[in-house]
């Protein structure tokens, strides 16, 4: 932490004008090493320094982003002028929060900043060699990406926070080719504080190779409507895409139609369905002590016993809707103002054993591997590079090119079994919203059974 920078940020806010102002500064050091096809593809480092100021003027935000930390007061004036660009009145108002002053250093177990670049390359190289030595694997990638951000936040209400946010991910992908048939599979592992945990994970690399090879012989899934069992990994992605984005209140705050659709107390599913978002859990991909408006994080129940119970807010959406701030204001980088984002989102565990879920299905699909996902509120989609058919209550043959889609309301209502085997995904995925990509988020679920899921296929 740089106490001088902290002081400069704090004093720049004094007398800045406007109804409210805040400053967020980020200093991020990143390294990425990647092997592809058995050869080193990238060894890159970067240092990203910059900040963003927001000034609330007449119910509108004026915002300025910058790299030069030299004259923060000038940046505040620039933002204020932007906010005053029109005489038209806005209606932005902020929910009240208690201004916090705190330092939140990361509890590093093994800090990658102390590891030599050559050692990081050796780690990735070992995984790469292992992947390329597997039968039928024609191309493979093993990469290590890490980022350590020092974040400073202050606002005109007196908040002043220093927060460290480390993220590291090791990723494997394997491409198997046999004649014209090409298939790819991937795995990844994320950590927040422990570089050492990324070593010795040959099992994950080999799993990626095995999956890619197996997909070569797998037929495409036949499109149709099936009962589906989602693995915990897929269940986490499902709740993130199919429901989580709908619970982000920034799209509801000024949209009466959306508010009517998302009225608290509305029944969304059976009583077995419980969904929560919680950044305060330690060490997960979406964990934060404070959000990007300096609000202390905590658990927010979104669905409780099948009923819509809460939603995610930043100060603006909570202020407009007259609800409690939840600490979900997040920005991928300092270049963006914070918007409402998920943190660690999960379907909580239930009581049904996996075998019992299978037993009720004559013909269905067991979705195992999570690919990407997307939502259009009512509709959602996610890719599942590998899935198994379920036949007469048993897991049967592997199928490929599986893409799920569905209607949110029908799908949540059609969840008829929630497993007793909850776990958080250990993978290193991220979430995109608007212009911002790859915000680290955590996802968790047990096995979940859904009736009547639409699967695209040939």
Partner 1 sequence: MGDRAAWTAGTACKSEHTDDRMRVAERALAELARRGASGEVHVASVSGLTAEFSAGKLRNCSADGRVHLSVRASRSGRIGFYSTTDASNPGEAVERALETAECGEELEIAFPSRGIPGGDMPPAAFDPEVADMAADALVRQVGALTAEVEAATPGSQVRSAGRRETEDTVLVNTAGGVVRDRHTALTLFVELSRFAAEDVLLLFQEAGAARLHDPAVEGFPARLGDLYGAAATQAGLAPGKRRVVLAPEAAYVLLAPMFQGVNGLNAVRGTSPLIGKVGSQVLDSRFTLTDDPWLDWAIGSALWDEEGTPTRRKHVFRGGVFKGFLHDLRSAAMGRTESTGNGRRVRGQAPQIGPYSLVIEPGDLPMADLLAEADGGLYVASVIGGGPGGLAGAFSHPVGVGYLVKDGRLAGRVKDVAIAGNVYDLGRHGLVGLEDRTHTVGSMYGAALKVPHILLDGVDVAGK
DSSP of 378-429, one letter per residue? TEEEEEEEEEEEEETTEEEEEEEEEEEEEEHHHHHHTEEEEBS--EE--S--
Minimum CB separation of residue 4 from partner 1 in Å reads 17
Minimum CB separation of residue 213 from partner 1 in Å reads 14
For 73, phi and psi rounded to 5 degrees?
-65, -35
Minimum CB separation of residue 97 from partner 1 in Å reads 20
Q: How far apart are CA 98 and CA 78, in angstroms?
A: 27
Between 230 and 279, CB nearer to partner 1: 230
Between 47 and 362, CB nearer to partner 1: 47
Between 343 and 375, CB nearer to partner 1: 375
Minimum CB separation of residue 409 from partner 1 in Å reads 5
DSSP E strand stretches across 1-68: 20-36, 39-57, 60-66
Minimum CB separation of residue 434 from partner 1 in Å reads 9
The rounded radius of gyration (Å) of the Cα atoms in the chain is 23
Cβ contact 287:278 at 8 Å: no
Between 199 and 258, CB nearer to partner 1: 258
Minimum CB separation of residue 36 from partner 1 in Å reads 7
Minimum CB separation of residue 305 from partner 1 in Å reads 20
Between 166 and 371, CB nearer to partner 1: 371
Between 11 and 374, CB nearer to partner 1: 374
Minimum CB separation of residue 56 from partner 1 in Å reads 9
Instruction: State the alpha helices, DSSP H only, in 133-254.
Output: 202-216, 232-238
Sign of the alpha-carbon torsion through 117, 123, 126, 130:
negative
Between 226 and 354, CB nearer to partner 1: 226
Cβ contact 318:95 at 8 Å: yes
Between 278 and 316, CB nearer to partner 1: 316
**87 Cβ partners below 8 Å, 6+ apart?**
none
Minimum CB separation of residue 452 from partner 1 in Å reads 8
Q: Distances from the Cα of 364 to the Cαs of 156, 232, 380, 455, in angstroms?
A: 56, 17, 20, 11
Between 56 and 100, CB nearer to partner 1: 56
Partners of residue 444 on adjacent β-strands: 346, 424
Q: How far apart are CA 156 and CA 320, in angstroms?
A: 20
Q: How far apart are CA 160 and CA 10, in angstroms?
A: 7
Closest to 425 (Cα-Cα) out of 341, 367, 369, 377? 369
Q: How many Å is the maximal CA-CA distance in the chain?
A: 71
């Amino acid at each position: 932490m740089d106490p001088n920078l902290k002081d400069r940020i704090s004093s720049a806010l004094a007398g800045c004008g406007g109804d409210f102002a805040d400053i967020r500064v980020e200093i991020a050091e990143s390294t990425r090493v990647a092997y592809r096809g058995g050869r080193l593809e990238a060894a890159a480092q970067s240092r990203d320094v910059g900040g963003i100021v927001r000034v609330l003027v007449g119910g509108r935000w004026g915002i300025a982003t910058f790299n030069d930390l030299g004259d923060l007061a000038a940046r505040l004036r620039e933002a204020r002028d932007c906010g005053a660009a029109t005489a038209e009145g806005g209606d932005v108002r902020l929910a009240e929060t208690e201004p916090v002053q705190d330092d939140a250093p990361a509890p590093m177990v093994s800090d990658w900043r102390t590891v030599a670049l050559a050692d990081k390359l050796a780690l990735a190289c070992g995984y790469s060699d292992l992947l390329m030595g597997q039968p039928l694997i024609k191309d493979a990638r093993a990469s290590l990406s890490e980022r350590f951000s020092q974040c400073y936040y202050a606002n005109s209400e007196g908040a002043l926070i220093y927060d460290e946010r480390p993220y590291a991910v090791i990723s494997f992908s394997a491409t198997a080719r046999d004649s014209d048939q090409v298939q790819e599979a991937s795995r990844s592992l994320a950590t927040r504080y422990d570089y050492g945990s990324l070593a010795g994970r040959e099992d994950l690399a080999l799993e990626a190779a095995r999956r890619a090879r197996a997909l070569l012989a797998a037929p495409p899934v036949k499109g149709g409507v099936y009962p589906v069992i989602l693995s915990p990994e897929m269940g986490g992605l499902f709740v993130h895409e199919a429901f989580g984005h709908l619970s982000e209140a920034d799209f509801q705050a000024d949209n009466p139609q959306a508010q009517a659709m998302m009225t608290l107390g509305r029944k969304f599913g059976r009583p077995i369905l419980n969904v929560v978002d919680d950044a305060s859990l330690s060490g997960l991909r979406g964990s934060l002590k404070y959000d990007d408006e300096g609000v202390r994080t905590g658990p927010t129940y979104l669905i409780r016993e099948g009923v819509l119970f809460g939603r995610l807010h930043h100060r603006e959406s909570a202020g407009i809707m007259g609800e409690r701030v939840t600490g979900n204001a997040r920005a991928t980088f300092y270049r963006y103002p914070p918007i409402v984002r998920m943190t660690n989102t999960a379907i909580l565990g239930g009581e049904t054993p996996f075998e019992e879920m299978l037993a009720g299905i004559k013909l269905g699909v067991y979705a195992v591997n999570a690919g990407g996902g997307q939502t259009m509120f009512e509709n959602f989609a996610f890719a599942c590079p590998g899935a198994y058919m379920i036949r007469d209550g048993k897991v049967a043959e592997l199928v490929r090119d599986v893409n799920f889609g569905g209607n949110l309301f029908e799908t949540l209502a059609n969840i008829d079994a929630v497993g007793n085997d909850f776990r958080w995904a250990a993978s290193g995925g991220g979430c995109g919203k608007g212009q911002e990509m790859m915000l680290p988020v955590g996802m968790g679920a047990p096995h979940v059974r859904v009736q009547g899921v639409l699967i695209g296929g040939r």
